[in-house]
Amino acid sequence: MVRRTTIELDEDLVERAKKVLGAKTTRATVEEALRRAVEIGQRDQDRRAAGQRAYLGRLSARADVKVLTSEEMWR
């Protein structure tokens, strides 16, 4: 889905981004910057989730996770 939007952009920043990203148009520059931001965010989210899974794996060796997540634990 494509949506038309009007925004104010710093022209110097756009030109610098065009050079760095190798884009020819402002639209291509903004889309590539958004694509890269999403990729970075997804990688960070995946890394955090992997860390949480590893922590839970280590925790389960020392605690009964079923008890900790049960309704009885929090009564």
- Output the pTM of the full model: 0.69
Domain for residue 6, yes or no? no
Could you tell me where the DSSP H helices lie in the chain?
Answer: 11-21, 26-60, 65-68
CA distance 15 to 29: 9
pLDDT band at 72 (very low <50, low <70, confident <90, very high): confident
Domain for residue 33, yes or no? yes
pLDDT tens, residue by residue, 32-66: 999 999 999 999 999 999 999 898 888 778 887 77
The count of structural domains within the chain is 1
pLDDT of residue 64: 79
pLDDT of residue 75: 66
Residue 6, helix vs strand vs coil = coil
Domain for residue 2, yes or no? no
Domain for residue 3, yes or no? no
Domain for residue 4, yes or no? no
Q: Could you tell me the residue range of the domain that residue 24 belongs to?
A: 11-74
